[in-house]
Amino acid sequence: MSNNENALALPVGTTLDRFIMRQQEDFPYAKGELSQLLRDIALAAKIINREINRAGLIDITGAFGKENIQGEHQQKLDVIANIRFKRALINGGEACGILTEEEEDIIQTGNENGKYVVAIDPLDGSSNIDVNVSIGTIFSIYRRVSPIGTPATTEDFMQGGRRQVAAGYILYGSSTIMAYTTGQGVNAFTYENSLGEFFLSHANIKMPASGKIYSCNDAYFEDFSEPVQNFVRNLRKNDGVARYIGSLVGDFHRNLLKGGIYLYPPTAKSPHGKLRLLYECYPLAFVIEQAGGIAFEGSVKTLDVVPQKPHQRSTIFLGSPEMVENLVKNFFVPEFIDSHPAINSI
């Protein structure tokens, strides 16, 4: 039995730490650093879970009063989550640099001998916390390309989606779940508060090949391109079910388990898309592909999009393979398909 088969054979209820240790055997170049990074992320998630659960009692909901570098109003929990993840990754000692949605520049951790960098959206959908709706964290890990012993560089984060060594998300909802992949399938772990541990709850996730659910902001329907409008109309005529939380991780997790498609197409307000490529689209595309799904930027697969800048925005269509293929092949106008040969290779 291979190391990966050993890891996947671990029973539901296995702790995250034990699972990580077993998977570490699949990485001959790793000496525990990647495993420690995943533990650091899990530790920060536990702390944020605690803060969220008492948010209504200690005045950490609502706006912080500033904008982040995306021009979006920061929520108090955005700032708290950013601090928690920075501290966990800095103190863990394995990340030499961090790229976060909340700060413009690369965060130098001082761990210049660290072999990895982390791109992260510390708290996605944080405005929903005021009304007790699910929110989440999205993360991506790369092996650095800059020399060991030097500060992290922009190039460390601009390697492209195919160079991720690990990626995942944490969903803070009715339960707190951490799901991740290291390129060996997708596994999810549910947090048990009384024991302070994540336990394997969803082993080797495989998403359905198709589904009825479509997730998009219908308020922007008139701003969608005609092909996307036609696709949505077709779903509605064929018993499609609209489900949209407005919290990316929540929508993604539901569709991953039940089958469906998530759409964030270009609009007049956001012609290049709204989601961030490096720390939202890349990691979720990595997860979805490992679970048997597909993610497209429009003309190319999301993981094949070449990054141009650290906080680059992107459109995305991701989910069950039959639904995404149906959108890309049958609903993009012929002239668009002809001018983008990559679509014909699906």
Distance CA 220, CA 320 (A): 23
% the chain with pLDDT above 90 = 69
Q: Which residues contact 181 (CB under 8 A, 6 or more apart)?
A: 166, 167, 168, 187, 286, 287, 290, 291
Where do the domains of the chain lie?
3-202, 213-345
| 214 annotated ligand-binding residue | no
**pLDDT for the residue 73:** 55
Q: Is 125 annotated as a binding residue?
A: yes
Ramachandran area for residue 287 (φ above 0: left; ψ -120 to 50: alpha; else beta): alpha
Is 262 annotated to bind a ligand? Reply is yes
Annotated binding residue at 103? Answer: no
Which has the higher per-residue pLDDT, 342 or 228? 228
Fold of 213-345: D-Maltodextrin-Binding Protein; domain 2 (3.40.190)
Q: Residue 197, annotated ligand binder?
A: no
- Encode pLDDT of 243-258 as tens digits: 999 899 999 999 999 9
Q: SS3 for 52? A: helix
- Decide if 3-202 and 213-345 have a common fold: no
- The reply, when asked if residue 123 is annotated as ligand binding, is yes
Tell me: is residue 258 an annotated ligand-binding position: no
Q: For domain 3-202, which architecture applies?
A: 2-Layer Sandwich (3.30)
127 annotated binding-site participant? yes
156 labelled ligand-binding: no
Q: pLDDT above 70 covers what percent of the chain?
A: 84
User: Whole-prediction pTM value?
Assistant: 0.89
Angle subtended at Cα 250 by Cα 34 and Cα 77, rounded to the nearest 5 degrees? 75
Q: Is the pLDDT of residue 127 over 60?
A: yes
pLDDT in tens, 172-212: 988 999 999 999 999 999 999 999 999 999 999 999 999 99
pLDDT of residue 241: 95
